[in-house]
C-alpha cells in the first residue's frame, strides 16, 4: 500500500511539470474534496506501523549490525578475491535477494528519519496556515522550501524510497507470484523498469521545484491553449 501510494504521490507532485497553475489546481482539488487531509493521517499511521513491524527484522545489537555490514561487503565482493572459484560458486553474481535485503534495511533506516520529517511537514502544510497565505499546499511555498535547501534531503529521500519500495515489491513478488510466466529474471526486469521510471520522474520534478529546469509541460495550461 505504501509503495502504491508513493507512485501515486509522485504522479500528483508531477503536476508541477505543468507549472504552478497545474500544481495549485491539483492541491486545491485534493484539499477541497477532503482527500489530502485524511490521506496524510492514514499514510502516517501506516508508515509508523510498517516501521515498527519491519524494525523487528533489523539487527538490534551493534555486533549484529557490524556482522550485517560485513555480510554486505562479502556479498558485493564475492569471488572477486579468488576468481578461480567463480565457476563453482557463481561468485560474480552474489546472492541477489540477500544483498537486496541488506540495502532495503539501509534505505529503510534513512526513510524512517527523512520520511517522518516530510510527513510532519506535509501535515502542517495541509492542515494549518503556518506556511504560505493560508492552509494547504501551494506551489510558491513548496518551491521556496526546495530552493532554500530541502532539495538535498528530498533527493536522498527520493533515491531511498524508490529503491526501498522497488526492492520490497520485488521480494514480495518472488515470494507470492513468481512462477513459470513470471520468473525471477522477468520480475527483476519489471522492477528495474519501474525503479528507473519513477526515479527519473522524481529527479525531473525535483529540478523543476528547485527552478533549475522550467516546467516542460507548462504549454498544456497556457492561456493560448485554454
pLDDT digit string, tens, across residues 144-172: 999 999 999 999 999 999 999 999 898 88
* Residue 84 in domain: no
Tell me the pTM.
0.83
Residues of the chain falling short of pLDDT 50: 84-92, 224-226
> Residue 85 falls within a domain, yes or no?
no
* CATH code at position 43: 1.20.1300.10
Work out the end-to-end distance of the chain between its first and last CA atoms, rounded to an integer number of angstroms: 36
Longest dimension (CA), the chain: 67
Q: Domain count of the chain?
A: 1
Phi, psi of 5 (to 5 degrees): -60, -45
224 domain residue, yes or no: no
User: How far apart are alpha carbons 22 and 10 in whole angstroms?
Assistant: 14
Q: What is the CA radius of gyration of the chain?
A: 21
Residue-wise pLDDT for 118-127, tens only, equals: 999 888 888 8
Residue 212 covered by a domain? yes
What domain range includes position 9? 2-59+68-78+90-218
Amino acid at each position: 500500500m505504501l509503495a502504491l501510494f508513493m507512485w501515486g504521490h509522485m504522479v500528483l507532485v508531477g503536476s508541477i511539470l505543468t507549472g504552478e497553475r497545474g500544481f495549485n489546481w491539483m492541491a486545491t482539488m485534493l484539499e477541497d474534496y477532503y482527500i489530502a487531509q485524511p490521506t496524510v493521517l492514514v499514510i502516517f499511521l501506516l508508515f509508523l506501523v510498517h516501521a515498527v513491524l519491519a524494525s523487528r527484522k533489523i539487527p538490534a545489537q551493534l555486533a549484529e549490525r557490524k556482522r550485517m555490514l560485513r555480510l554486505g561487503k562479502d556479498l558485493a565482493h564475492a569471488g572477486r578475491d579468488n576468481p578461480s572459484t567463480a565457476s563453482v560458486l557463481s561468485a560474480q553474481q552474489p546472492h541477489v535477494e540477500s544483498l537486496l535485503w541488506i540495502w532495503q534495511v539501509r534505505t529503510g533506516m534513512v526513510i524512517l528519519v527523512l520520511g517522518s520529517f516530510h510527513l510532519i511537514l506535509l501535515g502542517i502544510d495541509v492542515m494549518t496556515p503556518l506556511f504560505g497565505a493560508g492552509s494547504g499546499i501551494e506551489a510558491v511555498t513548496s518551491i521556496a522550501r526546495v530552493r532554500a535547501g530541502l532539495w538535498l534531503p528530498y533527493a536522498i529521500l527520493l533515491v531511498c524510497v524508490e529503491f526501498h519500495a522497488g526492492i520490497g515489491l520485488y521480494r514480495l513478488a518472488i515470494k507470492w507470484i513468481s512462477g513459470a510466466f513470471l520468473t525471477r529474471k522477468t520480475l527483476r526486469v519489471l522492477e528495474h523498469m519501474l525503479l528507473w521510471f519513477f526515479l527519473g520522474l522524481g529527479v525531473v520534478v525535483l529540478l523543476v521545484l528547485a527552478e533549475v529546469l522550467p516546467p516542460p509541460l507548462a504549454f498544456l495550461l497556457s492561456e493560448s491553449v485554454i
